[in-house]
Amino acid sequence: MAFYDASKQQHNSHFYQPQFNGYNQQFNTSGVQGSMDNQFGASGTVNGAELSKGVLAAFSTSGYPGEPPLLEEIGINFSHIKEKTLTVLNPRGIISPEIREDSDLAGPLLFCLIFGTFLLLAGKVQFDYIYGVALFGTISLHYFFKLMSDETNINFTRTASVIGYCLLPLVPISFAGIFVDLNNLFGYLLSAISIIWSTYSASGFFVAVLRVNNIRLLIAYPLSMFYSIFVLMAIFVEKTESS
């Protein structure tokens, strides 16, 4: 018969019991300092600047110190949009090299959306025509302008950016169509001014980008035809009537 040694069993049952009274890990790498505690919180600094905290910081677009904002990293730079928009509104101003090389498409998409929204409020659903004409017209103008210059740095996004930004003077036409009928002398005059404004701005951009001289009228002619299509949508397209 085996002898049961209760004291030995009790002795062998004494395992190591870890103590979790909280932990605090410290780390320090080049320029980065921080700590974590058992409440799953984090804090620290990057190059001496305090890191953002909280749930809102995780979904914000401000970025950490020394890093560009999230929107700028994905190609949306509001400072460039503002500067390029002001350049379009002042076509006789000087076009900076930074704006000349800019290929932002956020502004053109926004202006097309605003233009179509104003037409929608006027009872004209023309989003398919707007984006269709903008796409095929931009492709045609892009290859047309490439044949006119030996400049090889221009690409489709830069062409689309210039053409799209210069659509801005046509937006007031669609806005005015919400309140007044544009199929009259007043509408024709307002449309002509907007077309000339857009054409003058766009042709100035392309003369600077393509680095060509004495052919601005040749560049302006197809641009004026392109912008005239959008004006025709705002004036002559019949409004949808609810049954």
41 and 148, same structural domain?
Answer: no
pTM higher than 0.75, yes or no? no
H or E, element range at 43: strand 42-46
187 and 83, same structural domain?
Answer: yes
pLDDT confidence of residue 236: 81
126 and 197, same structural domain?
Answer: yes
Q: Pick the more confident residue, 12 or 158.
A: 158
Reduced to 3 states (helix: H, G, I; strand: E, B; else coil), residue 223 is helix
Decide if 27 contacts 33 (C-beta within 8 A). yes
Confidence of residue 56 (pLDDT cuts 50, 70, 90): low
Q: How many domains does the chain have?
A: 2
Mean residue pLDDT across the chain: 75
123 and 47, same structural domain?
Answer: no
69 and 41, same structural domain?
Answer: yes
132 and 194, same structural domain?
Answer: yes
Chain centre to alpha carbon of residue 204: 23
Decide if 201 contacts 95 (C-beta within 8 A). no
Evaluate whether residue 61 is within a structural domain. yes
Question: Residue 48 belongs to what domain range?
Answer: 31-73
pLDDT confidence of residue 168: 92
96 and 135, same structural domain?
Answer: yes
Evaluate whether residue 47 is within a structural domain. yes
97 and 159, same structural domain?
Answer: yes
Evaluate whether residue 139 is within a structural domain. yes
Q: Pick the more confident residue, 35 or 80.
A: 80
222 and 138, same structural domain?
Answer: yes
Whether the predicted pLDDT of 14 surpasses 60: no
Burial category of 194 from C-beta neighbours within 10 Å (exposed 0-12, middle 13-18, buried 19 and up) = buried
Whole-number percent of the chain with pLDDT over 90: 28
